[in-house]
Structure formats: structure tokens, C-alpha cells
């Protein structure tokens, strides 16, 4: 199974939201990481066929994104998902199943399992209106899985999940990625750092870097430093280095920076993490 994206472009008036992006994906978990406005949602909407590219092509094996066979393989959780507040979780799932053409009896069995998997067992008779943000998000994930999709696209699926739910979610995604293509977007590094087989770093409509975590960290390995702040060279360091973290310790402030040269004699070289790379590329931009 292969998802093939060839030179896909989308422009909104003067803004090129996605700029000639080409990607090939096989079963596994793909983490699309980028700041606000990077073009993540636009790219995912094109992959899901809800937005047509201005140019370029998208196909899953031999089916183009416009074909019904492609749609049948797809599960999608949009970033802004329209829930029906007066529906119960159960009725909502039955409704979504009907839209996907799943027979009622089959749907019931499947919904039972899915609600269990997303930890909503016991809340199925509650109206969505009384759900918390995290519960709604989990219901959104469950509906995306109704047709057991080979291609699962989740746009910021962890928004609104608390730390405990995030861990559960990550485990679930890892499992799902074993035999299907899972693409999830986020601007939260820790959501994908350990579960993505491949990380796609997106900035201004293009994929800046892609690869496994060790691969994409390679360029900054040996260039991440931790050092004590010395007021004498503070301005200089801010000019020459990407400062990825600053924390106050008992002996004063510590900086974590990325740069070619050892910033000071007492600076310690530390192992690079995805957050360093992200902040290095997205200095001063949105994100967490």
C-alpha cells in the first residue's frame, strides 16, 4: 500500500498554502509538525479529497483521490469537526456509520468496540452537548475509524486531551499504524516524538525535513548546548544562537541553545531532541 503525493500545490489568493509538496507513504505513523499557518490542514484536506489541489496528484495505490475506492479507504478527523450537540454519542456514531454505508448490525458491533477503545464506554447515551473537549475529540477519532480505514488522517487529534488521555492516544495510534497509513498533524512535539515512524517538518507550505527521529536530528546533533547565562555575552548569544529553552536554577539562569560553536567554556554539549530542532526552525513563531 502506498500513498503518493506528487507536486501538490494550493494557493488562496496571494497565499501559497501548500507549495509543490511530494511525499510517498507506506503503512506507519507519519507526524506532520508545523507552526500555525504552515499549511498542515490544507495539505490534509487535499489528501482527504475535501479540497482540490490547484495542481499535482494524489493517489492511494492505483486509485486517484477523486475515486470512490479511495474514499472507501479513508478515515478523517478534521481540525474543526462539526458535532451534533443534540445527538447522543451512540446515535452520532450510528449516523456516521450510515453515511459511510455500513449496515446497521455490523455498525453496532463496530461502534461498541470503538467506543471502548476510545474510553467512552458508559457515555454512549449522553448527549454530545455535555461532553468535554477531550471526550468530543475521542468521539471524533472513533468515527474516523468506523470503516476500518487503510488511510487514517487526523488533524490535530490531541487538541483538548489531558496528559493521561494523550498517553492512551499515543498507544492507540502506534497500534493502528502497524497495518495502515496514519497521518497526524500537531504542533505539539511530544505527541509525535516517540510514535511517529516518520516526522514531516512543515514550514510555509513546504516540507523542510522528513525522516525518522534520529535522521532528522542528525544535522543538529553535537550543536545543542546548555550553559549558564553570563550577562556579559547575553546579547551576543541571543544573536548567534537559537535559544530553545531558558530555565532558572539555584545558581542562576540556564540556557539551552543550538549553534555551531561551544558558546562558553563551561557549556555542556547535550543530546538533541525534536523540540530543539523544532524551535531552531520555528524561532519566534507560534506553537508550544
Ligand X SMILES: Nc1ncnc2c1ncn2[C@@H]1O[C@H](COP(=O)(O)OP(=O)(O)OP(=O)(O)O)[C@@H](O)[C@H]1O
Number of residues near ligand X (by CB under 6 A): 13
188 lines the binding site for ligand X (CB under 6 A): no
Distance from C-alpha of 85 to C-alpha of 88, rounded to nearest angstrom: 8
Please give the grid coordinates belonging to residue 238. Answer: 541571543
In terms of CB distance, is 15 or 262 closer to ligand X? 15
| 50 forms part of the interface with ligand X (CB under 6 A) | no
DSSP codes joined into one string, 98-115:
HHTT--HHHHHHHHHHHH
Q: Tell me which of ligand X, Mg ion, none is bound by residue 110, counting a contact when its beta carbon lies within the kind-specific cut-off of 5 to 8 angstroms.
A: none
Q: Which of residues 128-187 bind ligand X (CB under 6 A)?
A: 187
Instruction: Compute the least distance from the CB of residue 51 to ligand X, in Å.
Output: 8
Angle between helices 163-176 and 133-144 (to 10 degrees): 10
Among 31, 34, 134, 157, binds ligand X (CB under 6 A): 34
CA distance 121 to 278: 37
Cell numbers linked to 263: 558558546
Nearest to 31 by CA among 185, 221, 217, 145: 185
Give me the torsion for CA of 228, 230, 236, 242, rounded to 10°.
Answer: 20
Member of 18, 29, 41, 102 binding Mg ion (CB under 5 A): 41
Task: Choose which of 38, 184, 220, 255 interacts with ligand X (CB under 6 A).
Answer: 38
Determine if 42 is a binding residue for Mg ion (CB under 5 A): no
Q: Which three cell numbers stand for residue 176?
A: 493502528
Work out whether 77 is an interface residue with ligand X (CB under 6 A).
no
Write out the residues near ligand X by the rule CB under 6 A: 12, 15, 17, 34, 36-42, 79, 187
Write out the residues near Mg ion by the rule CB under 5 A: 40-41, 79
Amino acid at each position: 500500500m502506498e500513498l503518493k503525493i506528487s507536486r501538490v500545490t494550493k494557493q488562496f489568493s496571494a497565499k501559497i498554502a501548500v507549495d509543490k509538496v511530494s511525499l510517498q507513504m507506506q503503512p506507519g505513523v507519519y507526524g506532520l509538525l508545523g507552526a500555525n499557518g504552515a499549511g498542515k490542514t490544507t495539505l490534509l484536506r487535499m489528501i482527504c479529497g475535501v479540497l482540490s489541489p490547484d495542481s499535482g496528484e494524489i493517489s492511494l495505490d492505483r486509485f486517484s483521490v477523486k475515486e470512490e475506492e479511495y474514499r472507501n479507504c479513508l478515515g478523517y478527523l478534521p481540525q474543526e469537526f462539526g458535532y451534533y450537540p443534540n445527538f447522543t454519542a451512540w446515535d452520532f456514531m450510528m449516523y456516521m456509520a450510515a453515511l459511510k454505508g455500513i449496515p446497521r448490525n455490523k455498525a453496532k458491533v463496530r461502534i461498541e468496540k470503538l467506543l471502548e477503545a476510545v474510553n467512552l464506554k458508559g457515555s454512549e447515551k449522553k448527549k454530545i452537548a455535555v461532553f468535554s473537549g477531550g471526550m468530543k475529540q475521542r468521539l471524533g477519532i472513533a468515527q474516523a475509524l468506523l470503516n476500518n480505514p487503510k488511510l487514517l488522517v487526523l488533524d490535530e487529534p490531541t487538541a483538548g486531551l489531558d496528559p493521561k488521555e494523550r498517553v492512551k492516544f499515543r498507544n492507540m495510534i502506534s497500534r493502528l499504524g502497524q497495518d495502515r497509513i496514519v497521518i497526524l498533524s500537531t504542533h505539539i512535539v511530544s505527541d509525535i516524538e516517540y510514535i511517529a515512524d516518520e516526522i514531516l517538518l512543515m514550514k510555509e507550505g513546504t516540507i523542510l525535513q522528513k525522516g525518522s527521529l534520529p535522521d532528522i536530528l542528525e544535522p543538529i546533533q553535537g550543536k545543542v548546548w546548555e550553559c549558564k547565562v553570563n550577562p556579559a555575552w547575553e546579547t551576543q548569544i541571543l544573536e548567534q544562537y537559537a535559544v530553545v529553552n531558558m530555565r532558572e536554577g539555584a545558581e542562576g539562569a540556564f540556557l539551552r541553545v543550538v549553534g555551531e560553536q561551544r558558546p562558553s567554556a563551561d557549556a555542556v554539549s547535550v543530546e538533541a531532541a525534536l523540540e530543539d530542532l523544532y524551535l531552531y526552525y520555528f524561532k519566534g513563531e507560534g506553537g508550544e
